[in-house]
């Protein structure tokens, strides 16, 4: 039977009996962790074990560990990284290598706890209009440079046994509003979008998983990309991304409607998996029922993503850190 077409979270530090029973029945493709789920190394490993035991397989467990403002694991559990844009600026001509090393070390931190996916690289283009919630999470303003740095970040994670999640497809950088609270509109014409915002995603279209942007691209479709068949077609055909497409959190305020209706709309549009975060168990159940089981095409992409997961390569941590400090003139961490 195909996996459940969801990625879901948990309330606390260990799964309750009700959560275990729900996950056993819903069989989500994977899980996502937040700060409320993270306390000690042993507890995190035990929670990851709870998730996988509930579904009876090595389900992927992801997290938002970009570094900077968006990192769920913080000291003493993990290094406290500079925001990506500052990291790139400090590294200068060594930015490509510095991004590889940053995300190779992040991957090592994640795998120590049983976490084998990360919601990065984020290759949205920064610009003068980019909202503050996103801007210093970006890697730069030029498509070719951002694609280069995104590839370095992805390669670092893959070498560390962590599956990258490319986001926010097909580009969030022009948003002047925070999609956690509002629905941003982008009014640039389709040709300009293809030349700029879409370009880094096209360069990285071979990555195993991607996450949608809750944005309206006015020149293409009046619906938000996550629930727009036309925008998912742009992602698949124009950008050429054939990896597993997950939604950004379906409960974000950019989208209006019930969780069930939004989940059904996203699946109908062509998304493979619904990501739902920070809700009640009843809301998770609503999303799981609406999303249903993966389509055969989604299952194929899910299995391909899992096949990209591999054992970490050898890592000399002191040498890696020394190399990174040299590239960054000592200013690596927040």
Any idea which residues carry the catalytic annotation?
180, 248
Distance CA 3, CA 272 (A): 11
Q: What phi and psi, each to the nearest 5 degrees, are found at residue 81?
A: -85, 155
The torsion angle over the Cα atoms of residues 68, 35, 292 and 252, rounded to 10 degrees, is -60
Q: Peptide bond preceding 168: is omega within 30 degrees of 0, i.e. cis?
A: yes
Write down how long the chain is: 334
How many Cβ atoms sit within 10 Å of the Cβ of residue 192? Answer: 13
Distance CA 70, CA 86 (A): 14
Residues 155 and 100: beta-carbon distance below 8 Å? yes
Angle between helices 84-91 and 95-111 in degrees, nearest 10 = 140
Q: How many alpha carbons fall within 13 Å on the CB side of residue 131? A: 17
């Amino acid at each position: 039977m195909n996996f459940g077409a969801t990625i879901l979270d948990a309330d606390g530090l260990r799964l309750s009996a009700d959560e275990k029973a729900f996950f056993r029945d819903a069989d989500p493709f994977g899980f996502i962790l937040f700060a409320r789920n993270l306390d000690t190394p042993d507890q995190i490993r035990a929670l990851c074990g709870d998730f996988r035991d509930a579904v009876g397989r090595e389900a992927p467990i992801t997290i938002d560990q970009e570094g900077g403002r968006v990192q769920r694991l913080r000291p003493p559990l993990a290094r406290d990284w500079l925001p990506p844009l500052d990291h790139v600026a400090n590294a200068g001509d060594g930015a490509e290598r510095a991004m590889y090393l940053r995300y190779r070390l992040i991957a090592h931190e994640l795998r120590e706890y049983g976490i084998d996916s990360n919601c990065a690289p984020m290759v949205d283009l920064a610009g003068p209009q980019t909202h503050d919630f996103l801007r210093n999470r970006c890697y730069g303003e030029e498509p070719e440079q951002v694609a280069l740095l995104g590839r370095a970040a992805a390669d670092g994670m893959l070498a560390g046994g962590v599956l990258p999640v490319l986001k926010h497809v097909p580009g969030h950088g022009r948003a002047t509003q925070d999609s956690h609270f509002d629905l941003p509109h982008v009014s640039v014409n389709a040709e300009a979008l293809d030349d700029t915002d879409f370009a880094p995603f096209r360069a990285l279209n071979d990555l195993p998983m991607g996450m949608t942007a809750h944005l309206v691209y006015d020149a293409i479709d009046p619906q938000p990309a996550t629930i727009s068949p036309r925008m998912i077609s742009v992602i698949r055909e124009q950008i050429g991304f054939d990896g597993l497409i997950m939604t950004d959190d379906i409960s974000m305020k950019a989208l209006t409607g019930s969780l069930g209706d939004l989940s059904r709309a996203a699946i109908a549009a062509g998304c493979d998996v619904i990501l739902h975060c920070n809700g009640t168990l009843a809301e998770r159940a609503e999303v799981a029922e609406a999303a249903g089981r993966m389509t055969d095409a989604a299952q194929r992409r899910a299995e391909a993503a899992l096949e990209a997961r591999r054992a970490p390569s050898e890592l000399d941590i002191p040498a890696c850190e020394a190399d990174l400090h040299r590239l960054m003139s000592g200013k690596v961490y927040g």
